[in-house]
Structure 1
Amino acid sequence: MKAFTLRKTLFAAIATGVLFTGAVQAAGYPAEIENDLVNICKAIKADNPMRLHLAVKRSGLNYRTLDEGLVCNGQNMMTFAATHSAGNSGKFLAARLHSTDRTLTAKR
């Protein structure tokens, strides 16, 4: 009987730990970081390279990190710039990322 109670208690402790861990992961970014990321997306859309550079600088992140993880309206930075006809922002990002043409084409 004692072993059953111990197992039940252990299971309850593990389940509680998993639930709290999930809640922490679902909490998202702190408001300051989220605002910085939103400002970067707004600067890209505004097609103003200087504003974009200042927004990235304020965020404390580098361009490579942003390229790997930032999503603006479901798109990466370069696609977001192209979608909003932000050619100056796109050129600026391409230069900062030392980006080559990443277009994938398929032929039959």
Structure 2
Amino acid sequence: MKKIIIGSILTAGLFLAGSAQAKYIDKHTEANLVKICEAIQSDSKIKLHIAIRDSGINPKAVSKGLVCNGYDPVTFAIVSKAENTAKFMARMSNVNYEELLAKL
């Protein structure tokens, strides 16, 4: 019985340690993601394209997984009154820009 309890504790510890490591982002990647958010906010498609290219992250991954100030990229651009980058990010993530704008 002791072996089962100890085994369960060790297994739970490994799962908790693995989930803590999955949330780590190195400083370089974090800086690139911040640059992408700043480019979205700037309303310049050229700056946004350069920021995504320089980050080395797939544009589809950026459009689906990036969070800027708690918003997805399209919503963040709309809230920042960056219409050009909102439409650009909406096309990249296959989101209907007009429908999303109506909901806000």
Same fold judged by TM-score > 0.5?
yes
TM score, norm. by length of structure 1 = 0.73
Choose the corresponding residue for 1:24, options 17, 21, 26.
21
Structure 2 partner of 1:10:
7
**Gap regions ≥5 residues in structure 1:** none
1:87 Cα deviation (Å)?
2.2
1:9 Cα deviation (Å)?
2.9
Task: Output the amino acid matched with 1:50.
Answer: I
1:78 Cα deviation (Å)?
1.6
1:55 Cα deviation (Å)?
0.5
Structure 2 partner of 1:57:
53
Moved more, 37-46 or 61-70: 61-70
Structure 1 partner of 2:82:
86
Structure 1 partner of 2:70:
74
Q: Percent identity?
A: 31
* Bigger Rg, which one: 1
**Gap regions ≥5 residues in structure 2:** none
Per-residue displacement from partner, 1:41-92 (whole Å, max 9, x unpaired)? 0011112221111100011123222121111111121221121121232243
More helix by share: 2
TM score, norm. by length of structure 2 = 0.75
Moved more, 88-97 or 56-65: 88-97
Counterpart contact for 2:64–2:93, Cα < 8 Å: no
* Change in CA separation of 1:52 and 1:100 when aligned onto 2, cut-off 3 Å: same
Distance across 1 between alignment mates of 2:13 and 2:79 = 44
Ranges of 4+ aligned residues in structure 1 off by more than 6 Å: none
Equivalent pairs, count = 102
